[in-house]
């Protein structure tokens, strides 16, 4: 009883066809995955335009250098592509100039007709985004891959080319950094309780 061959429309089958120059297979991969990787890139970069450019660049790299993915090793295409997108996002973030700090809306007693809940949510969103973008790139990537993209610690560690202990340390520091930033804004009470 051996392993069954990959389905014809599986990512690995499609990438083999891309390696043969099949543009239709490439288009299928793009349509299937561009949205998911856009979300990941956005979470790492915090800018819609940068995220679009990163995803576009990553797919063009796939098209121009399809043999960069070695299907024979048994690796999943998505895991490999996460690494490409993550590395490109980290490089892009390091090259660009520091952006202006995200504005945090200050609640005022005389907001009048503004709903407090909506205003509070907006303030939380702005503070959260600023806190995450202020994290070091690897911590941000670890948080994105594990918390938002739902990857296992093993997969995320492979993508970031660190061991699992180092990944857990990155995650812990990322959350601590965000927690501290939100607590300074008065948006988080206490430190929460440890889990694990």
Partner 1 sequence: MLMDELDQILLKRAVPEVPHDLSGRIIRQARAHQLSPRPFRSLFLEIMDFIVLPRPAYAMAFSLCVAMIVGFEAAGGLAFAQQDWSSFLMIDEGEWL
Stretch that binds partner 1, among 6-14, 41-49, 87-95, 103-111 (CB under 8 A): 41-49
Would you state the structure tokens that stand for residue 11, as one six-digit string?
A: 């990512």
Q: How many CB atoms lie within 10 A of CB 45?
A: 25
Closest by CA position to 29, among listed 42, 44, 12, 43: 12
12, 129, 168, 185: which one contacts partner 1 (CB under 8 A)?
A: 129
Stretch that binds partner 1, among 73-81, 109-117, 120-128, 149-157 (CB under 8 A): 120-128
Q: Is residue 182 within the footprint of partner 1 (CB under 8 A)? A: yes
Closest by CA position to 130, among listed 88, 91, 93, 182: 182
Q: Is residue 187 within the footprint of partner 1 (CB under 8 A)? A: yes
CB 135 within 8 Å of CB 167: no
Judged by beta carbon, residue 3 or residue 124, the one nearer partner 1 is 124
Q: How many CB atoms lie within 10 A of CB 167?
A: 23
10, 21, 184, 186: which one contacts partner 1 (CB under 8 A)?
A: 21
> What is the nearest approach in angstroms of partner 1 to the Cβ of residue 21?
8
CB 169 within 8 Å of CB 88: no
> What is the nearest approach in angstroms of partner 1 to the Cβ of residue 4?
29
10, 99, 111, 125: which one contacts partner 1 (CB under 8 A)?
A: 125
């Amino acid at each position: 009883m051996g392993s069954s061959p990959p389905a014809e429309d599986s990512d690995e089958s499609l990438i083999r066809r891309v390696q043969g120059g099949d543009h239709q297979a490439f288009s299928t991969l793009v349509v299937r995955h561009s949205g998911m990787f856009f979300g990941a890139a956005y979470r790492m970069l915090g800018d819609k335009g940068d995220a679009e450019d990163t995803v576009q660049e990553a797919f063009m790299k796939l098209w121009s250098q399809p043999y960069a993915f070695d299907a024979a090793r048994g690796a999943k295409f998505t895991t490999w592509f996460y690494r490409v997108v993550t590395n490109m996002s980290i490089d892009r973030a390091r090259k660009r100039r520091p952006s202006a700090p995200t504005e945090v809306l200050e609640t005022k007693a005389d907001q009048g007709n503004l709903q407090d809940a909506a205003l509070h949510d907006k303030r939380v969103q702005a503070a959260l985004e600023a806190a995450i973008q202020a994290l070091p790139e690897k911590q941000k990537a670890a948080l994105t891959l594990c918390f938002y993209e739902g990857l296992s610690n093993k997969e995320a560690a492979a993508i970031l080319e660190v061991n699992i202990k180092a990944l857990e340390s990155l995650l812990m520091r990322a959350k601590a950094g965000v927690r501290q930033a939100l607590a300074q804004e008065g948006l988080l009470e206490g430190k929460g309780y440890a889990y694990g």
